[in-house]
Amino acid sequence: MLRRWTGTLVTMRGIITAAGYVPYRRLEGKQISAFFGSGGGRGTRTVASHDEDTTTMGVEAARRALAGGLTVDSLRFATPTPAYVDKNNASTIHAALRLPASVGAYDVGGSLRSWTGALLGALDGPGHGLVVAADLRDGLPTSADEAGCGDAAAAVVVGEGTDDAPVIAEIIGRGAATDEFLDRWRSPGDTRPRLWEERFGETRYAELSRAAYGAALADAGVEADSVDRLVISGMHARAVKAAGAKLSAGRDILVDEVTAATGQTGGAHALLLLAAALEAAGPGEVIVLLNLADGADALVLRATEAIATVRPADPVASQIATGAPLPYAKFLTWRGAVTVEPPRRPSPDRVSSTAAWRNEDWKFGFVGSKDPATGAISMPPARVSKATGDVDAMEPVSMADAVGTIVTFTIDRVAYSPSPPIVFAVVDFDGGGRFPIELTDVDADEVSIGDKVTMTFRRLFTSDGIHDYFWKGRPRPVRTATSTKEA
């Protein structure tokens, strides 16, 4: 049964900022077929680092969305592949972003459609709503999902614009078509998705996408031939292709500069495509975002004048253009498909929940302390001034966005790591402060003294089911995807 969504539109609420996060590593499909003799295909996919999960990728996307200093009133996080269940992952993102305690932070569902509900809820809610979506797609070796999916995150802030933070795209229409049918399913805890035969989903989605698309255009009062960009996302590749052919009706409005490089990034993909589309859109353009997931949802957006002046801090397009290849063997070990012999060193102790809570600003927010007497920065934060002996006179100083320079570094081949060896550097920050910190997204033989690094939120290890989240350094600028170096 089809139902048309008939909610009330709040005028002038729309997207204020949109950002994507594309992990650094790429797996070429041909590596899979070279190893197994089947599977793989010709494309590439993004691969989250061994120290990334949907929460850390969500943090990175949200940091990019909030790079302009935007404040938000709510946080919704949607992922089909959460780092925790029962425990709220949005609270971790909230902590890493150092949002005020009064900002509610909520995990939303676990399906490929959940992000849509999160976005619509934020659109209907008051204030600035931050919506974060992330996914980390697995499939059995040689499966279409393994090669054709990818890992990514995206974040948008919706609300009413201000002079400082204008709406770059108004939401002018919505349409939904919900239907209960089984095309793709996965049991909780499984990494392997299961699929019904392809034709059934293809025919269902054909009907559902037409219904949602038509409803959204009618809701917006926009004719189909006024649509400038049509963005379609869905896990059913044939259905997406068929819907694109049908709905574009021969017009050159289909846009997707992303999927060929990243793979289909599941619960993050529609917002990632939207962020990329907005990077390229000009004022007045009408953009339709259509997502196929156990039904179909369509959003009609109209870019405002502000889109010409508001530029993303770290465009999806440039993240796609950078990155480095990952050998298939590393991919298999990072995903837990293969376990290799670790160094004979003890695995780390589980993190103390109470200690982590006490040190939330430091651990999750990378906040040090600054001595007002000397300007000296302590990481972790200190209570006592080395210079004056004053107690509790320090000022907090956020180092998460500071740019650092490698003073010296080493490679530790013996220490425990989920992916040895550890590359470790002493980093001096622009504006003061030094911290010795592990590097990530890096090839051990390409680090140099003097290299610039930025900070990134990562998962160091997991012990007793507790994820240890903290910060690492990430060299920049990153190399292009054409680099032949391997991890």
Question: Footprint of other proteins on this chain (CB under 8 A)?
Answer: 343-346, 348-349, 351-352, 354-356, 358-359, 362-363, 377-380, 386, 407-417, 422, 424, 426, 428, 432-436, 460, 468-470
Q: Which is nearer to other proteins, 239 or 437 (CB)?
A: 437
Q: Shortest distance, CB of residue 51 to other proteins, whole angstroms?
A: 12
**What is the rounded distance in angstroms from the CA atom of residue 259 to the CA atom of residue 46?**
10
**Do 205 and 236 contact (CB within 8 A), yes or no?**
yes
Complex with other proteins: residue 253 or 351, whichever CB lies closer: 351
Decide whether 140 or 411 has the Cβ nearer to other proteins. 411
In whole angstroms, give the CA distance from residue 18 to residue 404. 26
d(CA 281, CA 287): 8
Nearest distance in Å: CB 413, other proteins? 6
In the complex with other proteins, the residue whose CB is nearer, 270 or 437, is 437
CB of 241 to other proteins, least distance (A): 45
Q: How far apart are CA 58 and CA 47, in angstroms?
A: 14
Looking at the Cβ atoms of 24 and 471, the one nearer to other proteins is 471
Closest separation in Å from C-beta 151 to other proteins: 23
CB of 379 to other proteins, least distance (A): 6
Alpha helices in 223-315 (DSSP H): 237-248, 259-262, 269-280
Kindly tell me which of 244 and 432 has the beta carbon lying closer to other proteins: 432
Shortest separation between residue 334's beta carbon and other proteins, angstroms: 19
| 174 or 363: CB nearest other proteins | 363
CA distances (Å), origin 483, targets 321, 328, 392: 11, 16, 49
Question: What pairing do the DSSP bridges indicate for beta strands 194-195 and 184-185?
Answer: antiparallel
Nearest approach in angstroms of CB 98 to other proteins is 16
Helix (H), strand (E) at residue 58: helix 54-65
Residue 114 dihedral angles phi and psi, to the nearest 5°: -60, -35
Nearer to other proteins, 93 or 177 (CB): 93
Q: Using only C-alpha atoms, what is the Rg of the chain? A: 23
- Give the pairing type, strands 286-292 and 229-234: parallel
Cα–Cα distance between 227 and 213 in angstroms, integer?
A: 11
Report how far residue 245's alpha carbon sits from residue 242's, in angstroms, rounded to the nearest whole number.
Answer: 5
CA angle 43, 49, 50 (to 5 degrees): 125
Q: Using an 8 Å Cβ cutoff, are 61 and 20 in contact?
A: yes
CB of 485 to other proteins, least distance (A): 19
